[in-house]
A and B are shown apart, each in its own frame.
Chain A
Amino acid sequence: MSIPTAPSPPRYWRGIPQHYRLEAVKAESGEVMFPPRAVASDGSHSSELYALPHEGSLIAFTILHEAIPGFAVDPPFAVGIVELSDGTRLSAQITGVNLDQISIGMPLRYAFRKLQEDGVAGTIIYGYKFVPNAESAED
Chain B
Amino acid sequence: MREVAIIGIGQTRFGELWERSLRDLWAEAALTALDEAKVPRIDAVYVANAASALLGGQQHLGSLLAGHIGLAEVPATHIEAAEASGGAALRQAYIAVAGGMADYVLVGGVEKMTDLESEYQGYIQTTFGDQDFEGFNGITSAALYAMIAQAYLAEYGATREQMAMVAVQAHAHARHNPYAQFTNQIKLETVTRAPALAEPLRMFDAAPNSDGAAAIVLAPADEARKRGLPIVTIAASAQSGDLLALHSRKTLTSFPAAVRAAQAAYKQAGVTCSDISVVELHDAYTIAALLALEDCDFFARGQAGAAVEDGLTAISGRVPMNPSGGLKAQGAPLGAIGIAQVVEITRQLRGTAANQVPNARVGLTHNVGGVGGTAVVHIMKGEQP
Q: Is A124 an interface residue (CB 8 A)?
A: no
Q: Determine the distance from Cα of A115 to Cα of B137 in the docked complex, in whole angstroms.
A: 7
If the complex has contacts A1-B117, A2-B117, are A35 and B197 also in contact, measured as CB distance less than 8 A? no
Which residues on A sit within 8 Å (CB–CB) of B122?
Answer: 66-68
By a CB distance below 8 angstroms, the chain B residues around A3 are 54, 116, 120, 123
A63-90 interface mask toward B, CB cutoff 8 Å, 1 = contact, 0 = none? Answer: 1111111010000110111000000011
Check B140 against A64 for contact (C-beta < 8 Å): yes
Residue A5 interfacial (CB < 8 Å): yes
Is there a chain B Cβ closer than 8 Å to A107's Cβ? no
Give the CA-CA distance A119 to B81 in the complex, in Å. 27
Between A and B, how many residue pairs show CB distances below 8 Å?
108
User: In the bound complex, do residue B151 and residue A68 qualify as a contact, i.e. CB atoms below 8 Å apart?
Assistant: no
Q: Indicate if A57 sits at the interface (CB-CB under 8 A).
A: no
Chain A residue total in the interface (Cβ 8 A)? 39
Is B197's CB under 8 angstroms from A66's CB?
Answer: yes
A79-B136 in contact given A1-B57, A3-B123, A91-B245 (Cβ < 8 Å): no
User: A3 vs B53: C-alpha distance in the bound complex, in angstroms?
Assistant: 11
Q: How many residues of B contact A (CB 8 A)?
A: 40
Residue of A nearest to B53 (CB): A3
Q: Chain B: which residue is nearest A129 at the CB level?
A: B137
Provided the pairs A60-B252, A79-B137, A81-B246 are in contact, do residues A7 and B116 lie with their beta carbons within 8 angstroms?
no
Binding stretch for chain A, among B24-32, B126-134, B306-314: B126-134
Cβ contact of B133, chosen from A2, A91, A125, cutoff 8 A: A91
Partner of B198, one of A63, A81, A104: A63
A18 and B56 CA atoms in complex are apart in Å by 32
Would you call B123 and A92 a contact (CB within 8 A)?
no
A81 touches B247 (CB 8 A): yes
Beyond A62-B146, A63-B198, is A89–B248 a contact (Cβ under 8 Å)? yes
> Residue B143 at the A interface, CB < 8 A?
yes
* Contact present for B246 and A93 (CB under 8 Å): no
- Whether the pair A69, B199 counts as a contact (CB closer than 8 A) is no
Report which of A60, A63, A89, A92 forms a contact with B137, defined as CB distance below 8 A.
Answer: A92
CA distance A89 to B247 in the complex (A): 6
Q: When the two chains form their complex, are residues B116 and A1 in contact, meaning their CB atoms are under 8 A apart?
A: yes
User: Given A2-B117, A60-B252, A91-B137, is A66 in contact with B198 using a C-beta cutoff of 8 Å?
Assistant: yes
A105 to B117, CA, bound (A): 38
- Could you pull out 27 A-B pairs where Cβ atoms are within 8 angstroms? A1-B115, A3-B116, A5-B123, A33-B248, A35-B245, A60-B150, A61-B147, A62-B146, A62-B147, A62-B150, A62-B200, A64-B140, A64-B143, A65-B198, A66-B198, A67-B122, A68-B123, A68-B126, A68-B140, A69-B119, A69-B123, A79-B139, A81-B247, A89-B248, A91-B133, A91-B247, A115-B137
Point out residues on A near B: beta carbons under 8 Å.
Answer: 1-3, 5, 7, 11, 15, 18-19, 33-35, 60-69, 71, 76-77, 79-81, 89-93, 104, 115, 125, 127-129
Given contacts A15-B132, A65-B196, 12 further A-B contacts (CB under 8 A): A7-B132, A18-B133, A62-B198, A63-B199, A64-B197, A69-B120, A69-B123, A81-B252, A91-B134, A91-B139, A91-B245, A125-B136
